[in-house]
Amino acid sequence: MTATIDYTERIPNNVDLASDRRLQRALEAWQPRFLQWWQDMGPALPTRDVYLRTAVSVGHEGWAHFGHVPLPDYRWGIFLAERDSDRVAAFGAHKGEPVWQAVPGEHRADLQRLIVVQGDTEPASVEQQRHLGSTAPSLYDLRNLFQVNVEEGRHLWAMVYLLHAHFARAGREEAEALLERSSGSQDAPRILGAFNEPTPDWLSFFMFTYFTDRDGKYQLGTLRESAFDPLSRTCEFMLKEEAHHMFVGTTGIDRVVRRTAQLMVENDAEDIREWGGIPLDMVQRYLNFHYSVSLDLFGSEMSTNVANYYTAGLKGRWREEQRGDDHILADAVSTVEVVADDQIVEVEAPALVALNQDLRDEYVADCRNGLNRWNRILEEAGIDIRLALPHHGFNRRVGAFAGHHISPSGKVIGAEEWERSAPGWLPTEEDRAYVASLMQPVLEPGRIASWIAPPTKGINGQPFEYEYVHLA
């Protein structure tokens, strides 16, 4: 007899994996490839173990289980939020009907595509962050990086589970392809642009977890509304983990801004490079870049695909049930922006076709909260300079603003003015080289790099000095 892995043991799950031999075999075949991918493309810094949160069930206690774990032994589990047997579709043509436990034939291709596009982002971010460990500003930050990485790995498992469980052979092939594409590759890049951008330094990492993981939150929020119940329940649980990723981004930028403010005040200077800090104008340029590439992830302002997804019940709006309309939107009208004659103007469009913009607007409002936090830190330090979100048309590659030059204040400008001004708006080679020069690892417990303030508290009640990671 060949030894078989006990998957209920190896892969914590609440989907009764043990009872489905076919599915179990499919995942058995996929798991070694995942582990190979993790070894090849996951965190490059060798470690003995890391103080991680592991989800072992979806209950109140179960999803936040802390302990030191060697990274490759992390238990990448499969969890769906509890099933609500009375759940009905909240929107679209099937509104009020019981949600689907199996994939309806007519929506097979679209659902598979939505799952693949979401799934593709999960390993992509691990790949983008692969080399950050060797320049971590503290053990606390190193631990947070690895926590984000293992959870993105778990999100990949979540999507692969859906592909294997509900899309037969085509799903298994897509699950393979998720490990074959890679971030930034010439031949087989990741599907979405922002996930092919490098994350070369920790300022980029914090901006990524603030702006790009937040896009993830909003995308998952629309899939949580799906009438395909297993997808909805999967995304519901993923959103819990996603909150930590955004915490890493929010507090990471908080701490950069706090340290910058401190150095500015101590030295009565704006350019604090000689004291090893990151000047605010540089923070602003990084912010401009990551915000604008993250906005591209929302797709075109007008999209008939997204209208069809909505009407079919596949993908809803952010907080669908809190919207005070008919949730069908057949006759509803909304406005979208277009660039005409060097002006940004609003035109009417069917609300269904404008759903990407609806989601983007929710995201933008959420991003403003971060700006308010960081500006409060500056204000409390007695500094007059403020950070700002650039206009949503700034530096766009996708949608109504692509192909136009829009200034951070929202003015349509010519190519020449853009070329002249861009070095003040987007990270320059010099900025990137300077930030790279700061990326010296600080890996002794309790110590921290010059360019960032320590956190106000540690993880799971542990002090900042705690040995969150044992290096190899």
* Closer residue to Fe ion in complex, CB, 122/141: 122
Assess 154 for contact with Fe ion (CB under 5 A): no
Q: How would you class 32 by CB atoms within 10 Å of its CB: exposed for 0-12, middle for 13-18, buried for 19 or more?
A: exposed
Q: What 3 state SS string does 271-338 have?
A: CCHHHCCCCHHHHHHHHHHHHHHHHHCCCCCCCHHHHHHHHHCCCCCCCHHHCCCCCCCCCCEEEEEE
Residue type, 471: L
Among the candidate windows 54-62, 83-91, 239-247, 403-411, which touches Fe ion by CB under 5 A? 239-247
Cα separation, 365 vs 423, in Å, equals 27
Closest to Fe ion by CB, 208 or 464: 208
CB 370 within 8 A of CB 426: no
User: How far is the CA of 53 from the CAs of 103, 215, 218, 220, in angstroms?
Assistant: 32, 23, 23, 21
Q: What is the DSSP letter of 107?
A: G
Q: Choose one: 36-44, 205-213, 252-260, 383-391; the region binding Fe ion (CB under 5 A).
A: 205-213
Site string for Fe ion, 287-326 (x = CB under 5 A): ----------------------------------------
DSSP letter at 446 equals T
Name the segment binding Fe ion (CB under 5 A); options: 25-33, 132-140, 172-180, 243-251. 243-251
Q: Which stretch binds Fe ion (CB under 5 A): 133-141, 145-153, 184-192, 347-355?
A: 145-153
- The answer to whether the beta carbons of residues 252 and 209 sit under 8 Å apart is yes
Q: Residue 347: in which H helix or E strand, if any?
A: strand 343-350
Query: Which member of 174, 197, 213, 236 binds Fe ion (CB under 5 A)?
Result: 213
The interface region with Fe ion, picked from 237-245, 277-285, 330-338, 370-378 by CB under 5 A, is 237-245
Mark 120-139 with x for binding to Fe ion (rule: CB under 5 A) and - for no binding: --x-----------------
Question: How many residues of this chain bind Fe ion (CB under 5 A)?
Answer: 7
- From CA 148, how far away is CA 54, in angstroms rounded? 11
Tell the smallest beta-carbon distance from residue 17 to Fe ion (Å). Answer: 21
Beta-carbon neighbour count of residue 292 at 10 Å? 25
By CB under 5 A, residue 224 contacts Fe ion: no
Residue 217 within binding range of Fe ion, rule CB under 5 A: no
Q: Does 245 bind Fe ion (CB under 5 A)?
A: yes
**In the complex, what is the shortest distance from the CB of residue 444 to Fe ion, in angstroms, rounded to a whole number?**
28
Binding flag, residue 155, Fe ion (CB under 5 A)? yes
Catalog residues that contact Fe ion under the rule CB under 5 A: 122, 152, 155, 213, 216, 242, 245
